[in-house]
Structure 1
Amino acid sequence: MGLRSAAHWVGRGAAALSIAAFPLWSPNGVPLASAADCADAEVLFARGTDEPKGMGAVGNAFVDALREQAVGLNIATYAVDYDAGKLQLGSGDGAKDAIKRIKATATSCPETKIVLGGYSQGANVINIVAGNPIVGIAWGASLPSSFASNVAAIATFGNVANRSGTKLPSQSEMFAGKGIDLCNPADPICHAGTGNEWSGHTDGYVPGYTSQAAAFVASKLLAGADQAAPGFGPSTGYGQLPGYDMSLPGPAPQVPIYASQPRGSDHMPPGWDQPAPGFDPSLANGLP
């Protein structure tokens, strides 16, 4: 091969390597992923209070169950980055991080179906994203409606909105019919009434409720968001584990414990950490 031919092929090879080494970019500066780089679905999950950074125990169990039930789908995960401290000051920042990730995924992988999830304080992160922050508190902006179609399903666990009189993510205008909000009737964070145990919050969601939520979400991913989940009734309010007597906890929650907090506050209102009736404070080590 002559020097000119050799130079020609070296140049072509260098160009190919250059193209492979650097991603393509969209006009707004977001890298465009190839179809091979994009997952079928991505779960964005916000952990509970005081859990180590990551998906948290409930989030990991939920994703494991979802992968088992959504057979054949490549499911990626993203742990919402926020300060999940006991002072409950990080939900707004968590919502901002989740929205930033939703926008990035929707832009770079428009065919990827996004699943939102949260447990305990992380559930309130999802409340904000869905446009349903706790009553009386200005936490932050919700997800722009132009990205709502990229979200295929939502699942929250131990969501204090159940008890505060606030709408749940599954009741939001953007995500009606796409969500399931599960509250263990023994959980004092989301249920007001007798029979509450702190363990109902800390240990009451894995594996029963995480598997139930995974079945609901899998039906959305496999059959489309407009299809009803087989075998499920209403997707809001209280879940029920096999063998659990729903008559024990008493009536549905009616005490809006957050309603008196003035708008504009950036911290949880006084009394947020007070135990529900029948709850033994000696069992608690902080809101998980």
Structure 2
Amino acid sequence: MSVLLTVRRVVTAVALTATGLTGIAFAASPATAACSDVQVVFARGSTEAPGLGILGRPLVSAVQQQLPGLTVDSYAVDYAANVSQTSAGPGATDMSDHITEVAARCPDTEFVIGGYSQGASVTDIAIGIRTTLGRGGTIPENLAPRIKAVTVFGNPLRLSRQTINSASQLYGRKAIDICATGDPVCGNGANAAAHLRYAFDGSVTRAAQFAANLVRTT
């Protein structure tokens, strides 16, 4: 079975799951005029409706809970998240452009960035990692100190035997790259359901704790 066919089957399951999770909001979080202490910038998975998606929304809430006393807002990367997996490059450009704009307007704002599935590839490209899913804009290196943490789930980069930790000298130590056992999108497994577990298996809490610790200590 080709990787693309596997991805298509999995993202169809993601879409069905997202449709069933009506209790989770999918509306995009607009960039606000006010400057926050921390902004979570997240790219949803393939076929999810525009917004933060099934992992971005709980991640933002968990980071907020982990950082009492700090203001935390969010931005949902604006990209097609199409099933053909061709929109990661444009998504990376939107992510990098947004961070560049906010960083210039809000000199004290720090960032937690990340994504799920194709959204993880968006993140890979935005931090300068070459992938098989195209090219796009990258975050200027002078802003790297303000990117406090990188949080990705179900990252297709792993199919090429890499993680953000191994592929990026600039961001590797700041990254948590989570892949469930059996996930075909990141682990070359055969269990499509594994790609849908991240919102329920403690991965979001783990990622939020990791990110919050870096915000507090770096």
Superposed pair shares fold, TM > 0.5: yes
Q: Where do residues 225-244 of structure 1 align in structure 2 (5 Å cutoff)? A: none
Identify if the C-alpha distance between structure 1 residues 55 and 169 changes in structure 2 by more than 3 Å, giving closer, same or farther: farther
- When Rg is computed on C-alpha atoms for both structures, the one with the higher figure is 1
For the residues of structure 2 that align with 1:117 and 1:140, how far apart are their CA atoms?
16
The aligned amino acid for 1:130 is I
CA displacement 1:21-80 (0-9 Å, x = unmatched): xxxxxxxxxxxx7xxx31010000000000000000111111111111122211010000
Structure 2: how far apart are the matches of 1:200 and 1:207?
Answer: 10
Q: In structure 2, what is the equivalent of residue 148 of structure 1?
A: 144
**Distance (Å, rounded) in 1 between the aligned partners of 2:165 and 2:75:** 19
1:189 matches 2:185: yes
Give 1:144 shift.
Answer: 2.0
Closer/same/farther in 2, CA of residues 170 and 70 from structure 1, 3 Å limit: farther
CA contact (8 A) 1:170 1:179 kept: no
Corresponding residue number in structure 2 for 1:257? none
- Bigger share in helix: 2
Q: What does residue 196 of structure 2 align with? A: 202
Gap change, CA 1:107 and 1:126, over 3 Å in 2: same
Q: Distance in 1 between matches of 2:157 and 2:172?
A: 16
> Which one of 59, 62, 66 corresponds to residue 62 of structure 1?
59
Evaluate the alpha carbon distance shift between residue 165 and residue 207 of structure 1 in structure 2; reply closer, same or farther with a 3 A threshold.
closer
Root mean square deviation of aligned Cα: 1.7
Where in structure 2 are the equivalents of 1:1-288 lying within 5 Å? 37-135=34-132, 138-168=134-164, 171-193=167-189, 196-224=190-218
1:132 touches 1:166 (CA, 8 Å); kept in 2? no
- Look up the SS of the partner of 2:121 in the other structure: helix
CA-CA distance at 1:146 after TM superposition: 1.5
Whether contact under 8 Å (2:131, 2:157) holds in the other structure is yes
TM-score normalized by the length of structure 1: 0.61
Give the deviation of 1:204 after TM superposition: 3.5
Report the alpha carbon displacement of residue 171 of structure 1 after superposing the two structures with TM.
Answer: 4.1
Q: Which moved more, 1:126-135 or 1:76-85?
A: 126-135
* Alpha-carbon distance in structure 1 between the residues aligned to 2:95 and 2:104: 14
- TM (norm. structure 2) is 0.80
Match of 2:23 in 1: none
Please give the per-residue CA displacement for 1:119-162, whole angstroms capped at 9, x wherever unaligned.
Answer: 00000000001111215x64124222112122111100000111
**Unpaired segments of 5 or more residues in structure 1?**
1-32, 225-288
Q: How many residues align?
A: 186
Post-superposition CA distance 1:246-267 (Å, at most 9, x none)? xxxxxxxxxxxxxxxxxxxxxx
Q: Secondary structure at the match of 1:114?
A: strand
Where in structure 2 are there 5+ consecutive unaligned residues?
A: 1-32
